[in-house]
Amino acid sequence: MTVTTINPPGTFSWIELATTNGPGARDFYSKLFGWEVKETPMGPDFTYYVFQQGGVDVAAMYQLMPDQLKMSIPPHWLSYIAVASADETSAKATALGGAVIKAPFDVGTHGRMALIQDPQGAHFALWQAYDNGGIGKRGEPGSLVWNELASTDIKGATAFYSGLFAWDTKVMPMPGMDYTIFEREGSGIGVGGGYQIMPKMGPMPPHWLPYFAVTDCDGAVSHAGTLGGEVVMPATDIPDVGRFALLRDPAGAVFAVLKPIPRPGA
């Protein structure tokens, strides 16, 4: 099947919240980002919620299932990366030292997915599109704008992801740390970033974190607070990038908001 999509292989194509409080998360994110909600029943006692803006998909959500709760899986955002073949990429991930947590399977006619763990322990998903190419907008207020890896071994992680997705990488010095930019092969366009977890950051498992674009970072932080969210890191300026903050939703899932610096011609 062919798909017309803004999410070619090697880019982040979907973002999905797993939560312990579906109604609460629906209310929180709808009010914070102005998202509409489309309900999709997917079996007995299971509904998949797609967040939209103007009828365009921007994210999704589901309630953690009993078996997941028994495994103590916490509320979290999962990042999906587009691939040409979920099966081939899963096999390659294993060869590079990663682990296949959930083997490739078809999601109806929408696409084929797999859940992968990198060698350091961060989880992400693969998405081979059939008739659903993923999110329909990127970088606009209320949509995904960046995905960021926190790793206990950023050099090892960089080797893994470069080998898996043929990402180009470059290191950007920042105050107190180096930041790695992941770029789609040969494009010069950043698809995500990563950094080394340092002792001063406290106990933190390796993970991928989504950033959502906003028009007012400080306003979004304040609004999230009125909705029951918490501030993990207050609004902070990133030179030549924008102003961001880390937030925790009422159920405990962490995400970031970013007001990007306008680019010439944008």
| Annotation: CATH topology of 144-260 | 2,3-Dihydroxybiphenyl 1,2-Dioxygenase; domain 1 (3.10.180)
pLDDT, tens only, 159-171: 999 999 999 999 9
User: Helix/strand/coil (H, E, C) string of 154-188?
Assistant: HHHHHHHHHHHHCCEEEEEEECCEEEEEEECCCCC
Distance of alpha carbon 237 from alpha carbon 19, whole angstroms: 29
Q: pLDDT tier at 5 (50, 70, 90 boundaries)?
A: low
Distance of alpha carbon 42 from alpha carbon 47, whole angstroms: 6
Alpha carbon distance, N-terminus to C-terminus of the chain: 33
| CB distance 245 to 214 below 8 Å | no
pLDDT of residue 2: 36
The answer to whether the Cα torsion of 211, 215, 221, 224 is positive or negative is: negative
Q: Is the pLDDT of residue 93 over 60?
A: yes
Q: Is the pLDDT of residue 228 over 50?
A: yes
pLDDT of residue 203: 78
**Ranges of each domain in the chain:** 12-129, 144-260
Q: pLDDT tier at 3 (50, 70, 90 boundaries)?
A: very low
In order of 190, 242, 250, 266, the CA distances from 145 in angstroms are 11, 12, 22, 14
pLDDT, tens only, 66-84: 888 888 999 999 999 999 9
Q: Please give the angle made by the CA atoms of 146, 148 and 153, to the nearest 5 degrees.
A: 160
Distance of alpha carbon 161 from alpha carbon 96, whole angstroms: 9
pLDDT of residue 263: 65
Q: Which of 2, 47, 5, 27 is nearest to 223 (CA)?
A: 27
Q: What is the mean pLDDT of residues 146-167?
A: 97
Residue 210: strand, helix, or coil: strand
Q: Is the pLDDT of residue 90 over 80?
A: yes
Q: Is the pLDDT of residue 173 over 90?
A: no
Q: Is the pLDDT of residue 146 over 90?
A: yes
Distance of alpha carbon 28 from alpha carbon 224, whole angstroms: 8
Average pLDDT, the chain: 92
Q: Please give the angle made by the CA atoms of 134, 62 and 227, to the nearest 5 degrees.
A: 100
Decide if 12-129 and 144-260 have a common fold. Answer: yes
The answer to whether the Cα torsion of 171, 174, 178, 183 is positive or negative is: negative
pLDDT, tens only, 189-219: 899 999 999 877 777 899 999 999 999 999 9
Q: What is the mean pLDDT of residues 12-17?
A: 97
Distance of alpha carbon 213 from alpha carbon 15, whole angstroms: 14
**The two three-digit tokens of residue 221, written as one number:** 């932080």
CATH 3.30.1490.20 is held by the domain 12-129:
no
Distance of alpha carbon 253 from alpha carbon 221, whole angstroms: 15
User: CB-hemisphere CA count at 13 Å for 24?
Assistant: 15
